[in-house]
Structure 1
């Protein structure tokens, strides 16, 4: 395959048009059109839908662009870094992060990164769904307790745990029956198993409110609606101030946040820099450290 033709194809795909690509690269539009046509002929595939003023990738074109654009960018960055005598983080960095972490911490992490590495264009998307990093062009994902995946490598940079908390008056009250509870999922609609200083405990609950967001759940617990299962990092400051009290740790595996990237891809300077930013933000990786970061 002609790598130069492939590079021209990715250039046109990135700029979504021959004219825009030609202006960005300072090259003749006719040359780009001819090179892409030659690539289509060599592959016996149509890579673009040409009609009217719009130029759109075909399904095959999208698949080819997803698999080759990042590799070509890494080659370009590697040659630029060698020519410059060192590898300076630059270019686009796409990160996918879970909702709660994004809402509580990612804004400041991203801002710190952007100020430290102004030549990197950071793009953070918030989603809890599994992400196909290669297909979607994502460089790094942050995930909670991810399943083992041989195609990904990385490390856990933060740990947390679930605790049951409530207003102090609820813990002090005599509970003749199930405890009023604010819940997230149907799995919580029976009883909570806790680990307390006095040993294991099963807490019968009466779900009085169901909310889909941990932050909404915390706010409802603070209002005194009921007890709730929440990450310690999200309520650690309230426990320290006495606004909320802990009934015990939930008897489930601790929460671990992992930063992951494709194992078959060379670790770029951008990804290395972002991992270092996470390490500096959370050097110990403890729930208390995250709680303090959120409170800042």
Structure 2
């Protein structure tokens, strides 16, 4: 594929017309039109719908634009960095992060990154769903215990674990009776929580009295004494130290791992590398205690 023709195609697509693209780039309109036509011919695809006053991308043209635009931008930035002799992070960095991490820590982390790298425009979107990085234009995603994905590479930067906690006013049952519980979601199928204490493993029978979609809301409800809760250590460390909550045991569930993921087929940009380094500096050991310190700072 002709890389120059591909760059001209992206220029026309970005400006939504040959005339506007020609004026923006100071290039002849006829040259842009010819090079896009040559690209269409080499691909045997129509990339634009021509006619009327506006130029519209076809479905195939839209897919090509979305998949190649970021790559060409990275090539331009790499060339500019090499030419200037400085590989300094600059440009737009889009990150998708899960809800709880964003609510508790991302604001401080993003602010610190912005102060450190003023030439990078960081944009963070908060969502727990699995996003399509290429289609939706993300440079990096943060996910909790992600499923394996051959198209992505990444690393664990934080680990956490769940504990069962309650207000000091709520007594832990000793006779096997159920205890009121605040759960994330509906919790209809949960009858008991397995826990490990210094005395060994045991089980706490529960009845869900409140279902909430956010762990921050679960913590606040547990603080109020509505029921016991199963929460990350990082989220309740300060409450346990202050006596607002008491520890009933370590939850018998898999460890929580937070991963940074990015496409394996792309060169790692200076922006992404800088953000990964920033996370490493914030959490050098990747422990729940480090996250708790960040939350309570």
TM over 0.5: yes
Per-residue displacement from partner, 1:194-233 (whole Å, max 9, x unpaired)?
1111111111001101111111111111111111111111
The 1:78–1:16 alpha-carbon spacing in structure 2 relative to 1, beyond 3 Å, is same
TM-score (norm 2): 0.91
C-alpha distance in 2 between matches for 1:221 and 1:21: 58
Deviation at 1:157, TM superposition (A): 0.7
Count of aligned residue pairs for this structure pair: 296
C-alpha distance in 1 between matches for 2:204 and 2:53: 64
Match of 2:254 in 1: 253
Deviation at 1:174, TM superposition (A): 6.2
C-alpha distance in 2 between matches for 1:131 and 1:125: 11
Match of 2:170 in 1: 170
Match of 2:264 in 1: 263
Match of 1:282 in 2: 283
Indicate the larger mover: 260-269 or 179-188. 179-188
Q: Secondary structure at the match of 1:46?
A: coil
Per-residue displacement from partner, 1:213-264 (whole Å, max 9, x unpaired)?
1111111111111111111111111111000111111101110101111222
Indicate the larger mover: 195-204 or 65-74. 65-74
C-alpha distance in 2 between matches for 1:228 and 1:172: 12
Deviation at 1:56, TM superposition (A): 3.8
Any unmatched runs of 5+ in structure 1? none
Q: Map 1:170-249 to 2 at 5 A.
A: 170-171=170-171, 177-185=177-185, 186=187, 189-249=190-250
Q: Secondary structure at the match of 2:165?
A: strand
Per-residue displacement from partner, 1:142-177 (whole Å, max 9, x unpaired)?
111112223222211111111111101213676662
Deviation at 1:24, TM superposition (A): 4.2
TM-score (norm 1): 0.91
Deviation at 1:188, TM superposition (A): 5.6
Deviation at 1:25, TM superposition (A): 3.2
The 1:295–1:175 alpha-carbon spacing in structure 2 relative to 1, beyond 3 Å, is farther
Any unmatched runs of 5+ in structure 2? none
The 1:183–1:13 alpha-carbon spacing in structure 2 relative to 1, beyond 3 Å, is same
C-alpha distance in 2 between matches for 1:23 and 1:224: 66
Indicate the larger mover: 277-286 or 9-18. 9-18
Q: Secondary structure at the match of 2:134?
A: helix
Q: Secondary structure at the match of 2:169?
A: helix
Indicate the larger mover: 157-166 or 71-80. 71-80
Deviation at 1:55, TM superposition (A): 4.3
